[in-house]
Structure 1
Amino acid sequence: MSDAEGENAYKKLRDIIMMPKNKTSLDVLKIWYTPEDAKVLASGFKTVGMDRFTIKDYAKKTKIPIEKVEETFNRLANRGVLFYYISKRDGKKKFMIPPLFPGLIEYFIINQNVSIDERRKFVEKFHKDEQQALGLITTPSDFSVFRIVPALEPSPDSRLIEVDEKLEPDKSQVLAYQDVEKIIKEAGKEENNIAVVPCTCRTMSMMMKTNPECKAPVDNCLVFGIPARYVVEEGIGRYITVDETMEILKEAEKAGLVHLTQNTVDKQGFICNCCSCCCGILSTAQKYNYWNIFQKTDYIPLFDMDICKHCKKCVDICPFYAISYISGDKEDKSEDKIIVRESVCIGCGLCASNCPGDAITLKKVRDVKPAENFIEAVTKMMTGKSA
Structure 2
Amino acid sequence: MGHIVNTEREYRLLQQRLDKNITGAPYSPVFMQILKLLFAPAEAAIARQISLRPVPVAKLAGKTGIDKAELQEHIHTMAIKGLVFDWQHKGTDYVVLAPVVIGFFEFVFMRAREDLDMAALAKLFEEYMLKDDRFARDVFRESTQLGRALVREESLPDGDYSEVLDWEKATHIITAAPAIGLSLCACRHKATHLNKACAAPLRSCLTFGHGAQMLISKGMAEPVGAGEALRILADCKQAGLMQIADNVQNSVGFMCNCCSCCCGMLQAIRTFSIQTAVITSSWLAHIDTQRCNGCGLCVKACPVEAITLAASDSPNRLQAVCEQELCLGCGVCRLACKRGGIRMVKRAQQVMVPETTFDRMVSMAIERGKLSNFLFDDPSRLSHRALGRVASILERSAPVKALMATKPIRSTFLAAAAAKARQYTDR
Give me the TM-score of the superposition, normalised by structure 1. Answer: 0.82
> Taking structure 1 as reference, are residues 124 and 324 closer, same or farther at Cα in structure 2, changes over 3 Å only?
closer
Shift of 1:31: 1.5
> Taking structure 1 as reference, are residues 268 and 91 closer, same or farther at Cα in structure 2, changes over 3 Å only?
farther
1:97 — aligned with what? 97
Distance, in Å, in 1 between the alignment partners of 2:138 and 2:105 is 9
> Taking structure 1 as reference, are residues 22 and 383 closer, same or farther at Cα in structure 2, changes over 3 Å only?
farther
2:385 — aligned with what? none
> Taking structure 1 as reference, are residues 323 and 41 closer, same or farther at Cα in structure 2, changes over 3 Å only?
closer
Distance, in Å, in 2 between the alignment partners of 1:102 and 1:156 is 34
Q: Is the 8 A contact 1:284 1:290 kept in 2?
A: yes
Aligned residues: 360
1:122 — aligned with what? 121
Deviates more, 1:18-27 or 1:345-354: 18-27
Q: CA RMSD in A?
A: 3.0
Shift of 1:328: 6.4
Deviates more, 1:289-298 or 1:11-20: 11-20
Shift of 1:136: 8.7
User: Which of residues 344, 348, 353 is equivalent to 2:326?
Assistant: 344
Distance, in Å, in 2 between the alignment partners of 1:52 and 1:136 is 29
Asked whether 1:204 is paired with 2:190, we answer yes
Asked whether 1:384 is paired with 2:367, we answer yes
> Taking structure 1 as reference, are residues 135 and 363 closer, same or farther at Cα in structure 2, changes over 3 Å only?
closer
The residue correspondences of 1:1-387 to structure 2 (distance < 5 A) are 2-18=3-19, 19-43=25-49, 45-47=50-52, 50-53=53-56, 55-87=57-89, 90=90, 92-115=92-115, 118-129=117-128, 130-131=131-132, 134-135=135-136, 138-154=139-155, 158-159=159-160, 173-187=163-177, 190=178, 193-209=179-195, 211-212=196-197, 214-303=198-287, 313-324=297-308, 329=314, 338-356=320-338, 360-365=342-347, 366-384=349-367
Q: Is the 8 A contact 2:285 2:343 kept in 1?
A: yes
Q: Is the 8 A contact 1:59 1:69 kept in 2?
A: yes
> Taking structure 1 as reference, are residues 136 and 115 closer, same or farther at Cα in structure 2, changes over 3 Å only?
farther
Distance, in Å, in 2 between the alignment partners of 1:76 and 1:350 is 39
Deviations 1:140-198 (A, max 9, x none): 3233222111123135864358xxxxxxxxxxx432332222221221xx2xx101100
Q: Is the 8 A contact 2:85 2:95 kept in 1?
A: yes
> Taking structure 1 as reference, are residues 21 and 196 closer, same or farther at Cα in structure 2, changes over 3 Å only?
same
Deviations 1:102-136 (A, max 9, x none): 111110123434535x2222221123342277359
2:379 — aligned with what? none
Structure 1 stretches of at least 4 aligned residues deviating more than 6 Å after TM superposition? 305-311
AA aligned opposite 2:150: V
> Taking structure 1 as reference, are residues 310 and 338 closer, same or farther at Cα in structure 2, changes over 3 Å only?
closer
Gaps of 5+ in 1: 162-172
Distance, in Å, in 2 between the alignment partners of 1:86 and 1:149 is 33
AA aligned opposite 2:276: N
> Taking structure 1 as reference, are residues 196 and 105 closer, same or farther at Cα in structure 2, changes over 3 Å only?
same
AA aligned opposite 1:368: V
AA aligned opposite 1:51: P
The structure with the largest helix share of the pair is 2
Distance, in Å, in 2 between the alignment partners of 1:75 and 1:307 is 59
Distance, in Å, in 2 between the alignment partners of 1:330 and 1:21 is 54
> Taking structure 1 as reference, are residues 23 and 158 closer, same or farther at Cα in structure 2, changes over 3 Å only?
farther
Distance, in Å, in 2 between the alignment partners of 1:46 and 1:77 is 15
Shift of 1:348: 0.8
In structure 2, the residue corresponding to 1:144 is in which secondary structure?
A: coil
> Taking structure 1 as reference, are residues 243 and 256 closer, same or farther at Cα in structure 2, changes over 3 Å only?
same
Shift of 1:65: 0.8
In structure 2, the residue corresponding to 1:265 is in which secondary structure?
A: coil
Distance, in Å, in 2 between the alignment partners of 1:341 and 1:208 is 33
In structure 1, the residue corresponding to 2:199 is in which secondary structure?
A: coil
Q: Is the 8 A contact 2:157 2:343 kept in 1?
A: no
AA aligned opposite 1:46: S
Distance, in Å, in 1 between the alignment partners of 2:33 and 2:211 is 26
AA aligned opposite 1:344: L
AA aligned opposite 2:244: L
In structure 1, the residue corresponding to 2:153 is in which secondary structure?
A: coil
Distance, in Å, in 1 between the alignment partners of 2:127 and 2:305 is 28
In structure 1, the residue corresponding to 2:141 is in which secondary structure?
A: coil
Distance, in Å, in 1 between the alignment partners of 2:30 and 2:285 is 41
AA aligned opposite 1:266: N
AA aligned opposite 1:34: A
Shift of 1:58: 3.3
Distance, in Å, in 1 between the alignment partners of 2:235 and 2:28 is 40
Q: Is the 8 A contact 1:201 1:278 kept in 2?
A: yes
Gaps of 5+ in 2: 20-24, 369-396, 399-427
